[in-house]
Every structure is written in C-alpha cells, then in structure tokens.
C-alpha cells in the first residue's frame, strides 16, 4: 500500500503581469522572481453555510474560495522583478529608483514548482496563482558576525480570483519526471517564452 506523496521542495518562483480582455486572461513580461526558499499559501474559505430541508442538510455552500495570501521566501528579489511586481519606474540617470506617488502595484500571476516524493520516486508539480497583488516590501538586513547569517527576503501577495468566466484562482499542473519539464509547463501557463 502506498504511503502517500510527501512534499520535499520548492523552486523556480516566476511572476508575470496579469491582463484580461473580454474574460480572456493573459500574461506578459514574465520572469524569474528569485531563487525559492519556501512558500506558504493561506486560503480564506467560506464559513459553514448549510441549507436544511425535510429536517436534513439539503445543500452546503461552505468551503468555497474567498481569497487568501501567499508568502514567498526567496534568496533575494531580482531588481528587474522588483520593478515588475511593485510597478516601480526604471532607475534615474543617477541610478536611484524612486518609490513615490507614481508607484502603482500591478496585478500579476505567480507560479512556482513543488517537488514531491512517493515510494522513492521524485516528481515536480507546477502551481500557478492566477491573479495576485504583492504588498509593498519592507527591508531587513543584519551585519555579519563571526559566521554568515544567511538572510532571505519574504514577499507577501494577496490571492484573488481571475476575471475568466469561472473565476479561476489556482492551476495545479501535472506531475513531471523532471524539474525542467515542470518549469516549461509553468512558463507556458504564464505565457513566458524563452
């Protein structure tokens, strides 16, 4: 009897600008966000909502998706990815990037790969969160002591339904035999061309 599938890793967080026209969702400007350390997806679901008829539960609408947040812990946000997900302008001629009234955080699609093991067999599964909006980033740093304190960056985004007819919020990909195959499927879902 199979023991079950165990998650053993997270990698390749990608982002792409979200667009919609006539109920058709599309993505542009997709790119690698950073190198992934961990991901946490917290979902808000509808509370228990039962309808009774003939003294029994006849219908139940509980558990439907009501929004959520995703927290991505990465090794460090790439500068071009930061400009994309936070709507930041290009650097001025003097090299400074202004975070000011013109900053407009866009909607994005977020994708990543989860690695699993089942009965000694490893597989990779791409996941796409269809429509998200990152919360403005903070900034942490600590000085180096005798040993390097490996510092990561935590990014949080709100997860929403997209604007398609069925209001999709997440895509779960197939199990692939290699990370490269899962990454190719992930990039195709976010309209990222090589």
In sequence order, what are the residues at sequence separation of 6 or more whose Cβ sits closer than 8 angstroms to the Cβ of residue 86? 99, 103, 105, 134, 136, 137
With respect to residue 61, please indicate whether it lies within any of the assigned structural domains. Answer: yes
With respect to residue 1, please indicate whether it lies within any of the assigned structural domains. Answer: no
Q: Residue 186, by phi and psi: left (phi above 0), alpha (psi -120 to 50) or beta? A: alpha
CA quadruple 34, 152, 73, 123: dihedral, nearest 10: 70
Among residues 164, 179, 87, the alpha carbon closest in space to that of 130 is found at 164
Among residues 175, 14, 141, 3, the alpha carbon closest in space to that of 84 is found at 14
Q: What's the structural domain count of the chain?
A: 1
With respect to residue 194, please indicate whether it lies within any of the assigned structural domains. Answer: no
With respect to residue 180, please indicate whether it lies within any of the assigned structural domains. Answer: yes
Q: What range does the domain containing 117 cover? A: 6-140+149-189
Which DSSP helix (H) or strand (E) runs through 183?
A: helix 179-189
For the ranges 11-15, 100-104, 172-176, the lowest mean pLDDT is seen at 100-104
Q: Which pTM value belongs to this model?
A: 0.86
pLDDT in tens, 165-176: 999 999 999 999
**Mean pLDDT, to the nearest integer, of 166-187?**
96
Among residues 98, 72, 71, the alpha carbon closest in space to that of 87 is found at 98
Q: Is the pLDDT of residue 153 over 90?
A: no
CA quadruple 113, 115, 174, 82: dihedral, nearest 10: 0
pLDDT band at 33 (very low <50, low <70, confident <90, very high): very high
C-alpha R_g of the chain: 20
């Amino acid at each position: 009897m199979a023991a079950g599938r165990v998650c053993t890793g997270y990698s390749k967080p990608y982002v792409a600008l979200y667009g919609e026209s006539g109920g058709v969702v599309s993505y542009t400007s997709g790119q690698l966000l950073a190198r992934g350390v961990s991901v946490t997806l917290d979902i808000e679901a509808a509370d228990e909502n039962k309808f009774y008829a003939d003294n029994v539960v006849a219908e139940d609408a509980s558990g439907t998706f009501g929004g959520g947040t995703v927290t991505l812990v990465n090794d460090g946000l790439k500068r071009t990815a930061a400009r994309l997900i936070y709507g930041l302008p290009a650097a001025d001629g003097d090299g400074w990037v202004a975070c000011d009234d013109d900053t407009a955080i866009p909607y994005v699609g977020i994708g990543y790969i989860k690695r699993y093991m089942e009965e000694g067999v490893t597989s990779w599964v791409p996941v796409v969160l269809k429509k998200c909006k990152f919360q403005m980033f903070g900034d942490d740093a600590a000085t180096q002591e005798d040993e390097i304190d490996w510092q990561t960056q935590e990014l949080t985004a709100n997860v929403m339904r997209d604007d398609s007819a069925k209001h999709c919020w997440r895509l779960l990909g197939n199990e692939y035999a290699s990370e490269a195959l899962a990454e190719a499927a992930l990039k195709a879902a976010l309209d990222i061309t090589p």
